[in-house]
């Protein structure tokens, strides 16, 4: 269904009546495809491209009920002049890097252990077991962990069961422990998509490679260091970048656990942006934070495209 | 004999895996255990399960959550249907037809993956306000239906890898775009589409931030939103009731998981492409 765009200048088309019919034919031959992709084009335009541009514009404005006026870089000056907000970028970096460290180790180790089971039925059920926790909505998981950290909650109960009552405290109310508590949430960080991605990667390793290793007398650790680890590198790279983008864009965890508190101790930039809408109606300021996060996500995504290049292979 | 040897090989692995599984399931155990405690049972033994199991907690939580299930069905159903219908049309057009602007459209769709909806939260909120859609289900449905890029990418890859011969005879017969889509595209893509669909249902069911901004009317709130409102609200519920609400909010996903385990796992793994 390629489209012929050349319009004949003479011949039958020159005749007014015939020309009209020919144009109609052309429109009919073009229309189906364009018509069917139109809803997607419009939806993406209205709900992604327009807001993205509008957000950048708004970040240079002050918005209130009477309308918007230009304030140049005032919003950005507020962002970079606010020490507490800059601290919140540190919190973001801590959470992101901590989770990168976690995601490159624990889910992979568990996936490898399961993959090495000789009993295939057991393999299947262990895999299911580490997927199941995903059916609990993240909001519910966060609420349960919120209880764990409370003064009479699960962590303190476990601590006193081991005779460590003196360590017990309100984990989320203490500015020294609150960030550690947020990072510790969903310990041991195995269950879910990360684990599945590693597992899928292991399944893609050709059997001959593993058989050859056995014939060559490679031990368990040698198999890990020379085969599994190098061949899982694409999955690892993908997960590192997915994790970075995830923590750049999401703030559900501090929002529900602490709302950024105590004080500003567990604030992240995304949450500050949310509060700019929901609490302060300070839309210009919120847009400035959003634009900064947008740029950070863009950098991470471009690095990812650079490293994987899947898009070029497909077009 | 071989079986015994295998078993011996597996035992230490099972033990290590168990070590990971116990803390993984601890929060779920806590949730279920506390959800059955009344006020006094919780005071005496806040962690381990106690008898009798108090179903009245579930009644209280359900009376607070019941209307949200219809909202979730309407919002997620319409949103996912939008993605599936429009997204598959676009994916099919991109993968099987050459037309002017095809490559441009491809990048137009793909580039959206670099715009997570939370970084455009402020302007998106302003847009919904300008359209007068706050406190309507459309405020959530439309952005969901627009989140197609990932689905298009997965379906595109599927359509792109179908053998050419499949479509050649149809083209000779003079079948147009829509007929080819209905007769070949859709039926073949059913597995990949259900995987994507299940993934999207899971994703939208988990969404809290966006509905919390635009749905303040309790009558149209979503499950996740209502759960947080109930749990952290002005009149904080008994711990048992809060946990019961958490369990209730998970049940539809549990059912979805049980009836479509394979598809569910395939869908989650396909989510890996999402950037």
Express as a percent the part of chain A with pLDDT over 70: 88
Contacts of A43 in chain B (CB under 8 A): 82, 86, 142, 145-146, 148
Compute the C-alpha angle A240/A244/A247, nearest 5°.
135
The strand pairing partners of A67, in sequence order, are: A64
- Give CA–CA dist A305/A302, Å, rounded: 5
Distance from CA of B167 to the nearest CA of A (A): 12
Does residue A1 register a pLDDT over 50? no
pLDDT in tens, A169-198: 889 988 889 999 999 998 889 888 889 899
Q: Do A140 and B246 count as a contact with CB atoms less than 8 A apart?
A: yes
pLDDT in tens, A80-98: 988 889 999 999 999 999 9
Instruction: Name the DSSP letter for residue B220.
Output: G
Distance from CA of B249 to the nearest CA of A (A): 7
Q: Do B223 and A137 count as a contact with CB atoms less than 8 A apart?
A: yes
Spatial contact of A290 and B115, defined as CB atoms under 8 Å apart: no
Domains of chain B, each with CATH number or no CATH? 56-273 (1.10.3720.10)
Nearest to A138 by CA among A240, A253, A246, A241: A253
Predicted pLDDT of residue A8: 42
Assigned token pair, A41: 């084009």
Assigned token pair, A92: 């973001």
pLDDT in tens, A122-156: 899 999 999 999 899 999 999 999 999 988 888 88
Average pLDDT over residues B8-30: 91
pLDDT band, residue A15 (cuts 50/70/90): low
pLDDT band, residue B28 (cuts 50/70/90): very high
Spatial contact of A71 and A60, defined as CB atoms under 8 Å apart: yes
- Compare CB distances from A51 to B127, B178, B250 and report the shortest one's residue: B127
Average pLDDT over residues A99-127: 92
Alpha-carbon Rg for chain A in angstroms? 27
Average pLDDT over residues A33-40: 91
The CATH code of domain A82-314 reads 1.10.3720.10
Spatial contact of A184 and B26, defined as CB atoms under 8 Å apart: no
Q: Where are the domains of chain A?
A: 11-58, 82-314
**Which of B 51-80 lie inside 8 A of A, CB atoms?**
none
Q: Do A193 and B268 count as a contact with CB atoms less than 8 A apart?
A: yes
Does residue A314 register a pLDDT over 60? no
Average pLDDT over residues B48-75: 89
Q: Do B124 and A47 count as a contact with CB atoms less than 8 A apart?
A: yes
Average pLDDT over residues B148-173: 86
Q: Which of A217-226, B93-102, B144-153 has the highest mean pLDDT?
A: B144-153
Predicted pLDDT of residue A103: 92
Q: Do B89 and A36 count as a contact with CB atoms less than 8 A apart?
A: yes
Predicted pLDDT of residue A114: 93
Helix axes B149-160, B56-96, angle to 10 degrees: 50
Contacts of A238 in chain B (CB under 8 A): 272
Distance from CA of B181 to the nearest CA of A (A): 11
A252 touches chain B (CB under 8 A): yes
pLDDT in tens, A260-284: 888 889 999 999 999 999 888 889 9
pLDDT in tens, A194-220: 898 999 889 888 888 888 888 888 888
B129 touches chain A (CB under 8 A): no
B97 touches chain A (CB under 8 A): yes
Nearest to B178 by CA among B56, B58, B110, B93: B93
């Amino acid at each position: 269904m390629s489209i012929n765009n050349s319009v004949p200048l003479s011949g039958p088309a020159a005749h007014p009546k015939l020309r009209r019919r020919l144009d109609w034919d052309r429109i009919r031959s073009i229309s189906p495809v364009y018509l069917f992709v139109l809803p997607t084009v419009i939806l993406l335009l209205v709900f992604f491209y327009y807001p993205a541009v509008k957000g950048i514009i708004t970040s240079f404005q002050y918005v209130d009920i009477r309308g918007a006026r230009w304030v140049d870089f005032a919003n950005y000056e507020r962002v970079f002049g606010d020490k507490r907000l800059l601290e919140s970028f540190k919190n973001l970096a801590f959470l992101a890097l901590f989770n990168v460290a976690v995601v490159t180790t624990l889910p992979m180790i568990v996936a490898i252990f399961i993959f090495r089971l000789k009993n295939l039925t057991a393999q299947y059920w262990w895999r299911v077991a580490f997927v199941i926790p995903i059916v609990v909505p993240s909001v519910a998981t966060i609420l349960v962990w919120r209880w764990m950290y409370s003064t009479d909650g699960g962590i303190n109960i476990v601590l006193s069961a081991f005779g460590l009552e003196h360590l017990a405290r309100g984990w989320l109310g203490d500015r020294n422990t609150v960030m550690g508590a947020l990072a510790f949430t969903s310990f041991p960080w195995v269950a879910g998509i990360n684990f599945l991605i590693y597992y899928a990667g292991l399944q893609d390793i050709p059997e001959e490679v593993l058989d050859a290793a056995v014939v060559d007398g490679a031990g368990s650790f040698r198999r890990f260091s020379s085969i599994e680890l190098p061949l899982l590198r694409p999955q690892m790279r993908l997960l590192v970048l997915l994790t970075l983008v995830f923590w750049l864009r999401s703030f559900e965890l501090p929002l529900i656990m602490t709302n950024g508190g105590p004080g500003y101790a567990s604030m992240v930039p995304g949450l500050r942006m949310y509060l700019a809408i929901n609490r302060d109606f300070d839309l210009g300021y919120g847009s400035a934070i959003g634009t900064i996060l947008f740029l950070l996500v863009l950098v991470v995504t471009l690095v990812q495209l650079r490293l994987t290049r899947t898009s070029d292979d497909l077009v | 004999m071989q079986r015994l040897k295998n078993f011996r090989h597996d035992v230490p692995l099972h033990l290590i895996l168990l070590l990971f599984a116990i803390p993984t399931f601890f929060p779920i155990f806590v949730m279920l255990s506390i959800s059955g405690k009344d006020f006094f049972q919780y005071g005496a033994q806040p962690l381990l399960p106690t008898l009798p199991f108090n179903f009245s907690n579930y009644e209280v939580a359900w009376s607070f959550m019941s209307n949200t299930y219809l909202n979730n069905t309407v919002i997620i159903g319409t949103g996912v249907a939008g993605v599936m219908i429009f997204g598959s049309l676009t994916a099919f057009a991109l993968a099987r037809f050459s037309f002017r602007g095809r490559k441009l459209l491809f990048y137009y769709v793909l580039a959206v993956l670099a715009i997570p909806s939370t970084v455009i939260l402020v302007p998106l909120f302003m847009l919904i306000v300008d359209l007068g859609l706050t406190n309507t289900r459309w405020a959530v449905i439309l952005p969901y239906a627009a989140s197609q890029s990932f689905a298009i990418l997965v379906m595109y890859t599927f359509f792109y890898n179908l053998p050419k011969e499949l479509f050649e005879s149809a083209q000779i017969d003079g079948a147009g775009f829509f007929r080819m889509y209905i007769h070949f595209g859709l039926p073949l893509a059913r597995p990949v589409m259900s995987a994507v669909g299940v993934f999207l249902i899971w994703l939208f069911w988990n969404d809290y931030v966006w509905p919390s901004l635009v749905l303040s009317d309790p009558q149209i709130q979503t499950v996740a939103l209502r759960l947080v409102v109930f749990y952290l609200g002005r009149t904080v519920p008994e711990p048992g009731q809060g946990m019961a609400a958490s369990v209730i909010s998970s049940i539809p996903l549990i059912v979805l998981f049980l009836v479509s385990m394979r598809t569910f796992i395939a869908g989650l793994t396909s989510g890996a492409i999402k950037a």
